[in-house]
Structure 1
Amino acid sequence: MFNLENIRKDFPILSRKVNGKSLIYFDNAATSQTPKQVIDVIVAYYSNYNANIHRGVHTLSQEATDLYEQAREKIRRHFNAKHAHEIIFTSGTTHGINLVANGFSSLLKKGDEIIVSALEHHSNIVPWQMLCERTGAVLRVIPMNDDGELVMSEFDKLLSEKTKLVFVNHISNALGTINPIEYIIEKAHQVGAAVLIDGAQSSPHIKADVQKLDADFYVVSAHKMCGPTGVGVLYGKEAWLKKLPPYQGGGEMIAEVTFEKTTYADLPHKFEAGTPNICGGIAFGAAIDYMNRIGFKAIEKQERELLQYGTEKLLEIEGLKIYGTSEHKTSVISFNLEGIHPYDVGTILDKMGIAVRTGHHCAQPIMDYFKIPGTVRASFAFYNTKAEIDSLVEGVKKAKMMLS
């Protein structure tokens, strides 16, 4: 059963004070908090198993290797990848996107087209712009509407035999919009294009089945899923990962090295040069275990209730406008107070112990579309409460009174 009081006890940081007030953490879209169960795994690793993996015959190395590869298998099961070697450990979502973009440098030619959406994070825009500069490929953009949704009829028009790659986020970090990725993947595959899905924002809320989705690539970050920073995963279909060249050279990713020629290791090690974030990978597996024990259906229900409650309460404030009003969205509310800069609102909320994100959220094209400098973003997780939302509403009212 979903016991919110007990769940909140799992997160030590939720009991701390900020500016003399009890912390209310509404910046989960940037980084979720970490439960004691995951923190304990991190402490246990450095206390008992700290050694390099895959290379050693000694006991510590073998134990660390086993724990790391067990984590890879946990992640494979969670996302329902067909093979464990389709799970590539990375430093996070951005690393995974850049790995794929670098690999396609040798596969694209001048005049080829790649498609991104108007709802993308900068990390799913800039690497493709760099790829186009290197290859002569052309970047196309799926437009958005006033509700913060992608215009699918325009996506259909963009697709052609020139389309080689399509890249979209599963959920918008700035607006919370859930994109119709099943439709996007199916249509892209009809013209022979590969599809990468940025799952950074969806993975804390939705248990994606990569085989059912038929995604060619899916990228996530552990720190959005109650895990540590500095580690993530790139899922790639085996056939695509075999086509792409290595992203980095070094140890671990080789089969044999001579001064005349180097041959590369099989998957997944081909893309895992150097000493990885061993502890981070193990802790990522523990974080996935933790979230699955709570259950994603229970998480979805709790967050849906928080989104509905927060939306209703905030809209009672005169002069408050919410950006991202799609019927299909997750627990993110981006808003502004008329005539007041979002940074100023965020500063006052912080004085009250309420952590929100302000600015363009690394999604500047979205803000340009709405002709605003940014928003105040309150993003909820399953461990948040309606009482905390009430405090947010009172804080926003106070900010309005002070700044108007």
Structure 2
Amino acid sequence: MKTIDFKWPLNIKSGSTHAGFKPDEQLDMCWVVSDTPASAAGVYTTNQFKAAPVQVTKKTIELNHQLQAIVVNSGNANSFTGDEGIQNVYNSKQLVADKLHLDDTLIGVASTGIIGKQLDMNTYQNGVDSLELSTDDINAPEAIITTDTCSKKVCVELTLNDKPVTITGFSKGSGMIHPNMGTTLSFIVTDANIAGDDLQNLLSEDIVSTFNQITVDGCMSTNDMVLAMANGAAQNDQLVSGSDEYIEFAKGFKYVLTTLAKKVAQDGEGANNFVEVNVNNAFDKQEANLVSKAIVGSNLVKSMIFGKEANWGRIVQAIGQTHAHVDPNHVAITLNGTEIVTNSVPVSFTDDELKALFTDENIIIDVDLNVGNASGTAWGCDLTYKYVEINAAYEG
């Protein structure tokens, strides 16, 4: 497997446009389309107020785990919009289906932006009318962003049955990031040949240790969705769970998910520092993931990192507030490669020595629980004044 420049897999095309949901000619709509129906999978927010596109797209994929097109708009979330919002999703599907000459059951719809505002269908129609298809249009990652400071994208290539296979992914997300399924809007497309059920199982399994392990602000979006399409155009033998080829594909697929998840955490609203927390020697994998996410999600830990103060007590409180097994007398904590707590006893440092641990923009915290053999990782960022400023002024 190797990382390559962003491109679309075989028989995948895209287009992007300014429909009018955002001002100043910003890209705010895109679609990704396969030449043929593709195996499809999805995971969705567990927020009780699921946005209309989430509700409808979930039902669409559950019909037969197939999609041929995904259309996304930014600038309006079509969330908390009642029956009219649901109908507007179906109307959106039909507009796309009519233009592409497809059955509307093969259309997935996603939206992001302001909550509680009905989707203007004239604007949506304008966007659909303007969208074109090209293998050269790679602006979809830019068309879906809102408060993001940059687009998030990744592309890898691997070989299955002597056939080159491409896996391409892109995401948006900067705030309202604290998933329990996946987060943000994220899309993965590949030309690998894999059945829809197997793709769904793989996505559902990998989401637990990738997108479920990021947090920016502890707030779960109503619009979170991660969708995957695999059209089989690479003409590899259909992947069979457990085979060498399946394992190789699974590695590439998880790499794409992990990379996108980390990019979202790194672009947390107002963030100065990207934070990675590794928990080792936990009782089991579930507890390792739980503790690592509790640490990276703690506002006290986030503030500690922003203030460049190695207040290890804030890390300890985050561990202790979980139900994970711990040995209170034998915890070790390492900050950017320097152990600051050994056997639950702090190591002596001068203030200048502690501050020197924060010179890198990337902060890595390693915790050894000494109660088992399992490991887990979570990603996040610090909490800054800028986060409050961004969200106090947010209107779309």
TM-score range, shorter-chain basis? under 0.3
Structure in which a larger fraction of residues adopt helix: 1
Q: TM-score with structure 1 length normalisation?
A: 0.24
Considering fraction of residues, name the structure with more strand.
Answer: 2
Q: Which has the higher contact order (CA 8 A, sep 6+)?
A: 1
**Could you tell me the TM-score, scaled by structure 2's length?**
0.25
